Structure 1
Amino acid sequence: MNLKSSISAFLFLAANLVFAQQNHYKETIDSVLHYFQENHAFSGRVTIEKNNEVLYDGDYNLFGKGKGNYKVGSVTKMFTAVLVFQLIEEEKLKLETPLSDFYPEIKNADEITIGNLLSHTSGLYEILGWDEYYLTRNQSFSKEQLLKLILNGKPEFKPNKDCSYSNSNYLLLGFILEDVTEKPYAELVKEKISDQIGLKNTYVAVSGGNQPTLDSYIFDGEDWVKDVSSDPSLPFAAGSIVSNNEDLIQFLKALFEGQLISQTSLDQMKTLKSKTIGHGLFNAPFYEKTAWGHTGRIDEFKTAAFYFPEEDLTLVITMDAGRVGINDIALPVLSKFYGKKYNYPEFYHSEITEPDFSVFEGDYKIKLAGIISVGIMRIKKAKNNFLFMTEVHDGKESEWVLLERMDENTFYSRRANAKLEFSFDKKNETDKITLEQGKFKISGVKID
């Protein structure tokens, strides 16, 4: 064999080796997504792109495969932060600009800056903590109503004294963007981001709008049930954008390639105020690698959009249903892609039918250390071998969370990563409940 033939043979073998390796991670990612979907834990799409080449694109959507766009929740915050930094570069805002320049009625407004709002260091009340949030999320809210909710909420801490994620920060940033530019937030996203870099399927949902959007679904133990759709006026600049995998990849690439803001502004977005929270970007380490981006959740939509700058690699996951968190999908996908060890989670499918589920249903008064009352936990039967759990405050129910049966008296909340164990009295009726989450444990007494 001559030298030319040897080189050709080597290149052929190398190409086939690369192809085999690619097929390997594609098969392993497919297998893990199949596993989650078979356990009613995932419906959505996963896309990995590197150097402008799509390396993996798995569409596992049960309800709208290849159709429609996803609500991306808090991924919206990256777009809002970009708009803010564009105004800073235009010298219409500064990171040091106080909130009192716009909304002096907000508590600590003189001490809260644009930078504090971007980095969640304002201490402002988290609007998701409002007791009626889940009951009223499908209703339209005015700017005045949202400001009143923030104003009436008790701050968590003094500005700059801590870092705690709060959607209220980005609601206010959206209002400030509109005040400074005298344009609606939806128009700003379209004009200064979507149109500028050619996003075809990214827009801000508005109340009464008829833009094409998928529905999201909840698993009730047997079937997928359509979830309530939040009105976009409530999340606003904190979570009202609709997009798809291709557009989110394009957005992240444009952001890191300097098409939207300067390198100086991008560096500021990446400046951390906690282990993971920057000024509109999250830091996400994976072994020796570091990604930047954001996660989001609204209704049962969940999204992760992250970029690994050193590898020019982007991962986007969009979900419209699934009883696991977005990180529970991102971790195995990245592990399979990079050949890292991954242990599959166990999904409980107990066939135990005794005692009957009716004995668990009711309200339980929860106490911390057995003394301090922290609220009411309501339990009701779901379908098959599952229960639902929710918190009740002032008679108002919060989000219902599915519980999997582990044994006769023990159930597991996958969303909270917590175990619930029921105790029985001499009449063989439930009288107590214990919730264990890691080292944290609280107990409750049945009151109804």
Structure 2
Amino acid sequence: MQLPGLRLLSCTFFLFLMNARLLFLTGLLGVATAARAQQLNTAKLDSLLTSLATNNKMMGSLAVSRNGQVVYNHAFGLAQLAPPVPATTATRYRMGSITKMFTAVMIFQLIEEKKLTLGTPLATFFPQLPNAKTIIIDQLLSHRSGLHNLTADAAYLGYMTQPKVQAELLAIMSKYPPDFEPGAKFDYSNSNYIVLGYIIEKLGKQPYAQALQKRVVAKAGLQSTYYGGKIDPKKQEAFSYKPTGSGGWQPDTETNMSTPGGAGAVVSTPADIDRFLEALFAGKLVSAASLGEMKTIRDGFGRGIMMMPFQGKPGYGHGGIIDGFQSLASYFPDDKLAITLSTNAHNYTLGDAMGDVLSICFNKPYKIPDFAASTFAPAAADLDRYAGTYASQQIPLKVTLTKEGGSLSAQATGQSAFPLEPVSQGVFKFDQARIRMEFDAAKPSFLLKQGANTYTFTKE
């Protein structure tokens, strides 16, 4: 979940438009080899996480489990800035939309108990919601209902930190006209899973928090997973932070967890999320048939679960953003490998960080990025020459470069501007999205490099 809008991490080229993206989901890293993962290079993982924390790129925790055993569990950075409290492997993070996997599991448990079906109309529970007679449970699970995403509107920012009861949120959702007819298309909406959480409460006659404990936590043997409340450092819960713009961190907002509910209120640790994924795929939470329904993918999303491959290896999981927290969790059934990365501060794309981790876990060629600040100062005349608007024949996008102080800022069409850091003569970077721009000394053009992609932009 992400603010504003608690939006799903999505898979698209436009990573560098200031949004966190799952680069490794696109499969752009090539075709996988048949070799299984060998001995885990824990020293390289240590080096990567230490570099991220030392250079104020990220703080959080990473857990890697194989065959049901934790093979790597490492925290980096701080759980709290003032007074400073180092993060540990016991530190708990708000998991955002990873909650949706838990909610989907409980819905399928109720289906197996014959308390509802994928075809049950929403009107059975909440007839006041738009299109309730034609929306079915399947469409809520797969984000194909057309219910408007309440967290996508500016009004949400006015009440996100305040407690809300079910009746209030249902009233808010009832006011929005549907975005499209049920089943017409996929469009991620947190409203779907907030409503599913309410259905779990109605059918089970108990709060979501209690259902979570009974139906998932106890069955999977989780130790640090629960419905969150106000952040409490006495429970080893991390606070979240955002970049200051000067290389440091400042406190981020704190959403009241009464609103995200079944869409994003779970608090946990990476090791516990790994354990949850292992229990799910081992048949401890739902039947093989139900898991198959969850894994049926359309438009990149199944029913509460996302397709998350890496270099051709099939993977399943979910991402989550809420306030300054970001998490990614993925399970690779062929390798019986579960990996969860959770952060409470980031100035580096989470998808890239997870791609780094996966490259190490699967023993792919990988070099830890150099995050050291550059001391290179470009000439003012060069900055004047670089400034302008550029277009590419490869993608329908324009980028405007503006001289600011001793460097440049970049702004893509319809997006916010972001600063570029000078690296060397004609070379600039933006680490948060792993962008590198290389200007041609003879032509008014530059190469934009991001991951394995290179695009040529020419000044208009």
Paired position in structure 2 for 1:423 = none
Q: Secondary structure at the match of 1:261?
A: coil
1:290 aligned partner: 314
In structure 1, the partner of 2:260 is 235
Q: Provide Cα deviations, 1:393-448, integer angstroms capped at 9, x if missing partner.
A: xxxxxxx99745459xx99876678999xxxxxxxxxxxxxxxx999x9xxxxxxx
3-state SS of paired residue (1:289)? coil
Structure 1: how far apart are the matches of 2:188 and 2:144?
8
For the pair 1:263 / 2:327, whether they are aligned, the reply is no
- Cα distance in 1, alignment partners of residues 368 and 100 from structure 2: 31
CA apart distance, 1:343: 6.3
Alignment of 1:237-386 (within 5 A): 237-274=262-299, 276-342=300-366, 349=373
2:164 and 2:374 mapped to 1: Cα distance?
43
Q: Per the alignment, do residues 125 and 414 of structure 1 end up closer, same or farther by CA in structure 2, a change over 3 Å counting?
A: farther
Q: In the aligned structure 2, how far is the partner of 1:162 from the partner of 1:324?
A: 32
- The CA deviation string for residues 368-394 of structure 1, in whole angstroms up to 9 with x for no partner, is xxxxxxxxxxxxx9xx999999xxxxx
1 CA distance for matches of 2:257 and 2:60?
21
- Higher-Rg structure is 1
Figure out how many residues of one structure are paired with residues of the other and give that number. Answer: 380
Q: Name which of 141, 145, 155 aligns with 1:132.
A: 155
Residues 5-404 of structure 1: pairs in structure 2 closer than 5 A: 22=39, 25-63=41-79, 64-66=86-88, 67-206=90-229, 211-220=235-244, 221-274=246-299, 276-342=300-366, 349=373, 403-404=419-420
Unaligned stretches of 5+ in structure 1?
A: 1-20, 356-380, 390-399, 421-436, 442-448
Partners of 2:56 and 2:248 within 8 A in 1: no
In structure 2, do the counterparts of structure 1 residues 135 and 347 end up closer, same or farther at CA, with 3 Å as the change threshold? Answer: farther
Determine the C-alpha separation between the residues in 2 that align with 1:234 and 1:386: 40
Distance 1:80 1:348, change over 3 A: same
Asked if the contact 2:51–2:371 (Cα under 8 Å) also holds between the matched residues in 1, the reply is no
Deviation of 1:208 (Å) = 9.0
TM-score by length of 2: 0.71
CA distance in 1, matches of 2:219, 2:337: 22
Cα distance 1:340–1:418, how it changes in 2: closer, same or farther (>3 A)? closer
Output one character per residue of 1:355-375: Cα deviation in whole Å (capped at 9) or x when no partner. Answer: 9xxxxxxxxxxxxxxxxxxxx
Cα distance in 1, alignment partners of residues 147 and 325 from structure 2 = 25
**Structure 2 residue ranges without an equivalent (≥5):** 1-37, 80-85, 381-403, 438-449
Measured in 1, the distance between the counterparts of 2:236 and 2:407 equals: 36
User: 1:76, CA displacement in angstroms?
Assistant: 0.6
Q: Distance in 1 between matches of 2:428 and 2:166?
A: 41
CA distance in 1, matches of 2:432, 2:120: 38
Deviation of 1:270 (Å): 0.5
Question: Kindly tell me: are residues 227 and 181 of structure 1, through their superposed partners in 2, closer, same or farther at Cα, counting changes over 3 Å?
Answer: same
How far apart, in 2, do the equivalents of 1:418 and 1:106 lie? 43
Structure 1-normalised TM-score? 0.73
Partner Cα distance (2:131, 2:249) in 1: 45
Displacement after TM superposition at 1:354 (Å): 10
> How many angstroms apart in 1 are the aligned matches of 2:345 and 2:333?
29
What is the percent sequence identity of the aligned residues? 34
Q: Is the 8 A contact 1:401 1:415 kept in 2?
A: no
Q: 1:41-93 CA deviation, whole Å, 9 max, x = no partner? A: 11111121112333322221333322431111111111101110111011001
| 3-state SS of 2:118 partner | coil
Instruction: Write the deviation string for residues 256-295 of structure 1: whole angstroms up to 9, x where unpaired.
Output: 1111111111101111121x20001111111121111111
2:286 counterpart SS class: coil
SS at match of 1:97: coil
1:217 and 1:190 mapped to 2: Cα distance? 29
Deviation readout 1:231-278 (Å, 9 max, x if unpaired): 10121110001111221121111111111111111101111121x200
CA contact (8 A) 2:220 2:276 kept: yes
Instruction: Give RMSD over aligned pairs.
Output: 4.0
Instruction: Specify the code of the residue in structure 2 equivalent to 1:52.
Output: G
